[in-house]
Amino acid sequence: MFRIVSVVLAVILALASVHSTTAVNRDTDARCSGWAEVGECDKNPGYMRKECQASCDRYDQKMGIESHANIEGITNFFQLSAKDIDGVDFPFKNLEGKITVVVNVASHCGYTESHYRGLKMLYDSVKSSEKVEILAFPCNQFGNQEADSCSQIKRFAVEEKGAEYRMMDKINVNGPMASPVYKFLKREAGPPTISWNFATYFVISPSGEVRSFSGVNPMELEELILNMLDTEL
């Protein structure tokens, strides 16, 4: 009799556990999925991890765990390299002694027009110095807004948006497949997660110091860069 009661109790506890897990992993708002896609699980965890747990679980699985194993020996920006949009390896040692701006871009984003316009204006204002480089990394991790091939992206950026700065190969900026470049930049200056296309601009000094600026337009960096040209070069 005792054995039967034990078995019944075990079944009840197991069912309760399943019910509890199912109840916790739910969304309480139909907008949870969209919020999770734009990074709210990390930016507003107090609410999101409680009220949008199912969407945050899916977001976590998508982003994965970001390992820094492949940048453990990297102590300076100029030790890195990346492929440009034509697939040619570009060593960052070529950037030493220059000011470098890094941003992730997309061709079909609500910010595309304003930020590509701003990037052109910024580059036009500093290119005569020959001491400023902009590296634009296409990324398709946000809303599937950079799904085109590299050749299509290059044609769009150069022919339609007037990009004269360096267009880079398409990469991931978050998650286990994130580019070592972005792993390094986030480790050095934050934020821990890039929230969207054009969301964060990194400015690297001629000596390799990394600073990050989130929620800015490209031309907001002009004064900083001009001051750096005056004081550091």
Low-confidence ranges of the chain (pLDDT < 70): 1-24, 42-43, 64-65, 233
What pLDDT does residue 18 have?
Answer: 40
**What superfamily does domain 69-232 belong to in CATH?**
Glutaredoxin (3.40.30.10)
What pLDDT does residue 82 have?
Answer: 98
Task: Residue 25: name the closest of 57, 62, 61 by CA.
Answer: 57
The residues assigned a catalytic role are 109
Report the predicted TM-score, pTM, of the whole model to 2 decimal places. Answer: 0.76
What pLDDT does residue 24 have?
Answer: 52
What pLDDT does residue 4 have?
Answer: 54
What pLDDT does residue 83 have?
Answer: 98
For the chain, give every domain's residue range.
2-63, 69-232
CA distance 126 to 100: 11
Pairing verdict, β 132-138 and 99-105: parallel
What pLDDT does residue 175 have?
Answer: 87
DSSP label at 179?
-
Asked if 197 and 142 count as a contact pair (C-beta separation under 8 A), the reply is: yes
Residue 30's contacts (CB-CB under 8 Å, 6 or more residues apart) are none
Asked if 142 and 106 count as a contact pair (C-beta separation under 8 A), the reply is: yes
* pLDDT tens digits, one per residue of 188-199: 999 999 999 999
CA distance 195 to 114: 18
DSSP label at 175?
S
CA distance 146 to 156: 11
